[in-house]
A and B are shown apart, each in its own frame.
Chain A
């Protein structure tokens, strides 16, 4: 390869990588747990999913519960069922009848008790980790209207894409030959390099997908949608979305009330007949109670059609089917891309196996990031580099590692904290997580020892991790075997996940400590044996 190009790839890879490393680590670490967002919520609230039969959900009762707190006339209602949790999301837009002043809202509703809860009240650790992974808590920095956290995360995701491309170019020639090289007991630099390249190559497709789709989710609106709308759609992002997002249609509000109350259950039942084989997840009512009312019900069956949801739209006035898109109809390119971007990022297409695999790949991404920082540090820790620069590098790596590795015990502790505090709301999760994280980071930074940071975080995180299912058992009585017997798969998943994580890190801790002791002995013995 051209020597000049090689060095440029190398340098730009290093610089972009070191700039984004800490934030990217937070994104990957929190994001890995966010795959189990709904399970974490069920686990924290102890509301197992097993009892609920989603196809029989009483849609009328949902509507009536909503109607108790607001006049539904002229609103768009969105009801979303999730097969992994008994918690449904229900939201209502503002009414198109301007005489109805009260706002709509976003709520959670339990599928068994139909109790409505607002978003803030039922905030949970799953939601926290999910939102932390695109830096939503940082949005306050930009003030109203400027989504600082999202844009920062988007920028990091895009620089990550750049780092993936340059990294692949650097490694290109050795991509096959070095794949099988792993020298864990050699000197540290080769260890970090081997981890970085081997895991980097294994996770490459996964990382690439996440860099691209992540950038799309966070910055596409200001950088792509708005400029495109400006030159192509008369400046209106609404009309752009209507033409490009499948299922986004505007039905005219006629401002004339219907004289019957719609039976949503009947529509839901009928849709089950019409979309046989699909799992119905969404029910949308446009212009509720108006002559222009439409009911749109959709569902998926990813075994039969990976990217195509089946949809049926009813006219609310006549009750007739207006449009039917069966599930195995040959799909359009637009729909395919639309759902593919979502499915690939959220890993919702293959049940728990895929999400566990995604989780592991995400954690592997974290290790790629840390080993990259370590290469950066070790490669610059040489005699020919000025003392001042070396000290700066050490501090920087020290802060990076303390904050990122410290996240592991903090996350484990947060699981225990929300279990012990049944009233844990957003304020509690925020202050617990962020304060503990800050304190731990400062302590680790002051100690200035990367080995001890890793060692102790593995130990504490491992112990806390193993303790999580025990605490859950003590608090709720849902021990692992109880959950297993009752088929509470969601609660079981979190308990088992932490058991495995905990044991794995304790074993790693043991290996790390042993390795270090051997090294010390080696140094102490005068013969060098």
Chain B
């Protein structure tokens, strides 16, 4: 009954990439997404919602990362999304 190996990632590099994308990348996307919401909505409301939404979104992103076919690609996507979501803050920092 253990999962059929045929469908699992064989290369250790790919596996490492997916695990880190799931854990680190997922966190970055989830956090930056909520920070983006904060930039446009009432920040107190968003912050209090984050008590549960950050972790649920993060866990969902973890699942998605493991479903990905290519570890590089999913890292790329998660990094890109984090950058886009964080853009308002980046612009502010550069404007200073």
Contact = CB atoms under 8 A, between A and B. Distances in A.
Interface of A: 3-12, 14, 158, 161-162, 165-166, 169, 189, 211-213, 215-216, 220, 223-224, 227-228, 231-232, 240, 243-244, 333-334, 337-338, 341, 375, 379-380
A12 B50 contact: no
B75 to A, nearest CB: 17
Nearest to A241: B47
Interface of B: 1-4, 6-8, 27, 31, 34-35, 38, 43-45, 47-52, 54-56, 58-60, 62-63, 66-67, 89
Given A228-B38, A337-B49, A379-B1, A3 B55 contact: no
- Sorted nearest first, the 5 A-B pairs with minimum C-beta distance are A7-B7, A11-B3, A10-B3, A379-B1, A7-B3
26 contacts: A6-B7, A7-B6, A8-B7, A10-B3, A11-B2, A11-B3, A12-B63, A12-B66, A158-B58, A161-B55, A162-B62, A165-B60, A165-B63, A211-B55, A212-B55, A212-B56, A215-B55, A223-B27, A223-B31, A224-B50, A228-B34, A228-B38, A244-B47, A333-B48, A337-B52, A380-B2
B67 A5 contact: yes
Contacts of A166: 63
Contacts of A3: 4, 7
B89 to A, nearest CB: 5
A6 B50 CA distance: 30
A379 B1 CA distance: 6
Interface-centre pick from B3, B52, B55, B59 (highest chain A CB count, 10 A)? B55
A334 B47 CA distance: 9
A212 B58 CA distance: 11
Given A7-B3, A7-B8, A212-B52, 13 more contacts: A3-B4, A7-B4, A8-B67, A11-B8, A165-B59, A212-B55, A216-B51, A224-B54, A231-B89, A232-B43, A244-B44, A334-B48, A337-B52
Contacts of B31: 223-224, 227
B87 to A, nearest CB: 12
A5 B31 CA distance: 26
A481 to B, nearest CB: 45
A215 B16 CA distance: 24
A244 B55 contact: no
B56 A243 contact: no
Contacts of B63: 9, 12, 162, 165-166, 169
Nearest to B31: A227
Contacts of B27: 223
Contacts, number: 91
A375 B3 CA distance: 12
A216 B55 contact: yes
A31 B83 CA distance: 39
Contacts of A189: 1
Nearest to B86: A231
Contacts of A7: 3-4, 6-8
A9 B62 CA distance: 11
Contacts of A212: 52, 55-56
A334 B44 contact: yes
A497 B50 CA distance: 37
Contacts of B55: 158, 161, 211-212, 215-216
A232 B27 CA distance: 18
Contacts of A232: 35, 38, 43, 47
Contacts of A243: 43-44
B23 to A, nearest CB: 9
B65 to A, nearest CB: 10
B21 to A, nearest CB: 13
Nearest to B4: A7
A228 B35 contact: yes
A3 B60 CA distance: 19
Contacts of B44: 243-244, 334
Contacts of A8: 3, 7-8, 66-67
B56 A161 contact: yes
Contacts of B38: 228, 232
B59 A161 contact: yes
Contacts of B50: 224, 228
A161 B22 CA distance: 13
Nearest to A246: B48
A336 to B, nearest CB: 9
Contacts of B45: 333-334
B44 to A, nearest CB: 5
A371 to B, nearest CB: 14
